[in-house]
Structure 1
Amino acid sequence: MGYAVVLGEALIDLLEAEQDGDLIYRQAIGGAPLNVAVGVTRLGGRVEYAGSLSGDVLGDRIAAFLRAAGVGDRGVRRVDVPTTLAVTTFEGAEPTFTFYGEPPSYALLAPADLDRTAIAGAGLLYAGSICLLREPFRATARDAWARCGGIRVFDPNVRPKLLPDDAAVTALRYLVEEYFATADLVKLSSADAQVLYGDADPAAAAERIRALGAGAVVVTCGARGAHVAAADGTALLPAPAVTAVDATGAGDSVMAALISRLLSGGLPADLAGWQRHVRFALAVAGLVCERHGGATAMPTSDEVAARWGDI
C-alpha cells in the first residue's frame, strides 16, 4: 500500500532514573508520533514524518535520529525556538509527563508547510496527540486529514498535565471526536477514555467512538491487553506476560504495529482480522515494555519473531 505519513510532535524526553543513589534524568528522543514513525519503519514499513523541529542542537539530534532510523523527513520544518522537553516521572513502569518550552517547538508546522503531494499519495495518514492542542498545528492536521485519500488512523494520546480544567477537557473531547467520526481506526488507552469520558470501561469507550463513525476502535488496557471493536463484534485480547521495566512508548508501539499491518495488508474485513493485527501489536508492545526508552525501544520484525515466533 505504499507509505504512511505520520503527522505530529517530536521532542526530548528526560526520563527519571536512579544512579548510585542519586536521582538523574536520562535524555531520550521521543514524542508519540515520532515513536510511531520509528516503530513502523523498524517493522518494515515506509514512513514520511511531518512535523516541526527546533534548529538547536537537540533538534539536530532528533533529525539525525530520524534519518538513521530510515524515516523520511521531507515533511520536516526547522524552527527558531528551543526544543520542547518532556520530564518523565514514573509510578512503577507507568510514565507521567510534564512539558517545558513555550512556544512548543513541535507545534509550529503550518498548513502552508505541508507537502500536499505526499499527503494525497499516502496509503495511510496518522494524526493525533498533543500537537493538536496548539495552533498552527491544529489547522495543519485538519488540512492533512481532509486531503488524505488513504486509510486514516487517530490516537488522542491524552496528557492530563496539559489540560488545566474541565473546559480544556471538554474542548479536547470535541476536537478529537471530529477525527473519531471519519477515522478508519482509533487507538486509545483506557486512561485516555477516563479523561475524555469519565469512564475507564474500554467497551463503553469503544462503543461510543464507533457510534460517532470510526471504523474500528482499539482500547489498550496495559497489562490486561486490549479491547477491540469492529463492525461485526468486539473482543478482549490478553497481553503477553512480560516483566515490564518501562512502559514509555508501549501505546505508540501498538499503533506502529497496527499501521505496519495496515500498510502491508490493508483494512481487515472483519473482527477476526482486527484480532490478528492486535495480537501482533500487543506482542510488539510487550517487547517495548521489557526495554528502556521510547523510540529506541521499538523492535524490528526479526526481534519480534525471535521473541514470539510467527504471530
Structure 2
Amino acid sequence: MRYAVVLGEALVDLLEAECEGEPVYRRVIGGAPLNVAVGVARLGGTVEFAGSLGDDVLADRIREFLTATGVGQRGTVTVAAPTTLAVATFAGAEPDFRFYGEPASYGLIDADALDADLVTGAAVLYCGSIVLLQPLALAAARRAWALTGGLRVFDPNIRPRLLPDLAAWDHQRAVVAEFAATAHLVKLSAADADALYGEDPEQVASRLLGLGAEVVVVTRGAAGALVAYGTETVDVAAPVVDAVDATGAGDSVMAALIEGLLRDGLPAGLAGWRVRVDFALRVAGLVCESPGGAAAMPTQTEVRTRFP
C-alpha cells in the first residue's frame, strides 16, 4: 500500500473566539504538519505522522485525534515535556500565532529515534515548518530526507516571531535552500516568500527552481496560487468563498497535493500540476469556511459537493 510520511510538529492551538459576548480561547489540535497529515487522511490517503509528542493529557488528546482521523502513529515518540501551545489571535480570517512551552515538545524527536523502515518505504515524504528550527528534529528530518526513495515535498511555513535576529533568518534561509534543492515539490505562501527573500512570488519560485526544486507552488490566499515548473508559470484562481478562519488553509493545499501524488504519482508537466492545484484550492476554500484547522479538513465528497 502506498503511504505518505509527514514529519513535523503536533501541538495544541488556542484560537481566539467569543462565547455569549465574552472572549474565550477554543482548544483545537494543530501544528501545520499535523494539519497536513489529517488532510491527507480525510481525502482518502494513507498517512503516518512522525514526530515527538509530550507526556501530558494534551498529548493524549492529540493521539486520540490522530487515531480518530485515521492518521497512523508508527513514527511518533513520547518525550518528557508538556505539550507546546500555540495561541492565535485574528485580524479578519488570518491567524497570528505565538508559541508557549520550553522545551518545545514537538522538536524532541532525534535522528536515532526515527523509524528508518517507515521512511524508506514511504511513497511521499513531507518535511517542513517550525520543527526544522529545533536542532534534534532538524537532524531527524535530514536523515529522513536522505533515506527516502519516495517523492520529497517541502513547506517552509515561516513564523517570523520565532526568528529573533539576522542569524536566525540566515539559518532559516539555509535550511530552505537545503531541502528545496532536492524536493519534487515546494509549497509556500506569498507571505513566506516575502518574509524569506523580500521578493514577489514569481521571483521566489524562480529562485527555488534554480536551487533544484522540480515544481514550486506559491499560495496567495483569495488570489489563488502561482505554479512554476521548468521555465513556465501559470496562475490558478481560487474559488470564491465566505471565509471565517484561514487556519490550516495552506496546509490543506499541501494535503491535497500529497494525496494526489499518492494516488496518481507526479502529474505530466505544468498542465497536470494546474489541475492538481485547482482541486487543492477548492479544498482550501472549504477549510476557510469552517473554524479550526485540522478539524476543518474535508473529505473528497465534501469538496466535490461544495464545488461541483
TM-score normalized by the length of structure 1: 0.98
Say if 1:225 and 1:238, in contact at 8 Å, map to a contact too: yes
Aligned 1:216-235 pairs, distance under 5 A: 216-231=215-230, 233-235=232-234
- Give the Å deviation of 1:298: 0.1
Give 3-state SS (helix, strand or coil) of 1:254's partner.
helix
The equivalences for 1:271-286 within 5 A come to 271-286=270-285
One-letter amino acid of the structure 2 residue matched with residue 305 of structure 1: R
Q: 44-53 or 12-21: which moved more? A: 12-21
Conserved 8 A contact 1:232-1:271? no
State the alpha-carbon separation in 2 of the partners of residues 306 and 236 from structure 1: 24
| Contact 1:169–1:195 (8 Å) recurs in 2 | no
- Report the secondary structure of 1:204's partner residue: helix
How much does 1:184 deviate? 0.2
Indicate the residue corresponding to 1:99 in structure 2. 99
Letter in 1 for 2:164: P
What per-residue deviation string (whole Å, max 9, x for no partner) do you get for residues 258-298 of structure 1? 00001111011200000000000000000000000010000
Are 2:137 and 1:143 equivalent residues in the alignment? no
Q: Does 1:117 align with 2:125?
A: no
Q: Distance in 2 between matches of 1:39 and 1:171?
A: 29
Partner-residue secondary structure (3-state), 1:29: strand
Identity, % of aligned positions: 63
Partners of 2:249 and 2:265 in 1: CA distance: 23
Paired residues for 1:47-86 under 5 Å: 47-86=47-86
Residue 308 (str. 1) matches residue 276 (str. 2):
no
1:78 aligned partner, one-letter code: T
Unaligned segments of structure 2, at least 5 residues? none
Q: Which amino acid aligns with 1:145?
A: W
SS at 1:218's partner residue?
Answer: strand
2 CA distance for matches of 1:78 and 1:25? 26
Letter in 2 for 1:238: A
Please report the TM-score for the alignment, with normalisation by the length of structure 2.
Answer: 0.99
Equivalent runs, 1:287-306 vs 2, <5 Å: 287-306=286-305
**Residue 2, structure 1, aligned to residue 2, structure 2:** yes
Partners of 1:237 and 1:204 in 2: CA distance: 17
Compute the RMSD of aligned alpha carbons. 0.8
Contact kept in structure 2, 1:49 and 1:74, CA below 8 Å = yes
Aligned equivalent of 1:192 = 192
Residue matched to 1:88: 88
Unaligned runs of 5+ in 1: none
> Do the aligned partners of 1:119 and 1:125 also contact (CA within 8 Å) in 2?
yes
Paired amino acid for 1:169: W
Aligned to 2:158: 158
Deviations along 1:134-171, one digit per CA (max 9) or x if unpaired, are 12101000000000101000000000110112221111
Which residue of 2 is the match for residue 129 of structure 1?
129
> What is the rounded CA distance, in whole Å, between the counterparts of 2:169 and 2:17 in structure 1?
31
Residue 232 of structure 1, CA deviation: 5.0
Offset of 1:80 from its aligned partner?
A: 1.2
Separation in structure 2 between the aligned mates of residue 290 and residue 163 of structure 1, nearest angstrom: 31
Q: Report matched runs for 1:219-258 at 5 Å.
A: 219-231=218-230, 233-258=232-257
Q: Take 1:166 and 1:269, find their aligned partners in 2: how far apart are those partners?
A: 40
| Consecutive aligned runs of 4 or more in structure 1 exceeding 3 Å deviation | none
Return the alpha-carbon distance in structure 2 between the equivalents of residues 115 and 258 of structure 1: 24
Partners of 1:254 and 1:169 lie apart in 2 by 25
What is the rounded CA distance, in whole Å, between the counterparts of 1:36 and 1:77 in structure 2? 19
Question: What is the CA–CA distance in structure 1 between the aligned matches of 2:307 and 2:80, rounded to whole Å?
Answer: 44
> Using the alignment, how far apart are the partners of 1:232 and 1:14 within structure 2?
42
Write out per-residue CA displacement over residues 30-57 of structure 1, whole angstroms, 9 at most, x where no aligned residue.
0000000000000000001100001100
